[in-house]
Amino acid sequence: MPGVRVKEEEPFESVLKRFKKQCEKAGILSEIRKREHYEKPSVKRKKKALAARKRALKKMRKMRQ
């Protein structure tokens, strides 16, 4: 869980910037977006398979060149 200690006389903007950076490193925002709506397991599998297929095609195209 990200936490930021505020130093004396530190501007709020810099504290907020550090907090946002910690949240991004922890992957909180991406997790929130992922869990925003329920996704059925079958849909997850289809998306995963499609992504794997795209990666494989991209790799094949790169090898041909």
Mean pLDDT of the chain: 93
Question: Which tens digit of pLDDT belongs to each residue from 35-58?
Answer: 999 999 999 999 999 999 999 999
5 in any annotated domain: no
> Which residues make Cβ contacts (< 8 Å) with residue 2, sequence separation at least 6?
19, 22, 23, 25, 26, 28
Per-residue H/E/C for 35-55: HCCCCCHHHHHHHHHHHHHHH
Position 2 scores a pLDDT of: 86
Residue 11's pLDDT band, with cuts at 50, 70 and 90, is very high
Residue 65's pLDDT band, with cuts at 50, 70 and 90, is confident
Question: What is the model's pTM?
Answer: 0.55
- Considering its fold, how many domains does the chain have in total? 1
32 in any annotated domain: yes
Instruction: Quote the CA–CA distance of 50 and 37 in Å, as a whole number.
Output: 20
Q: Which two tokens stand for residue 18?
A: 């550090």
6 in any annotated domain: no
60 in any annotated domain: yes
What domain range is 25 assigned to?
12-64
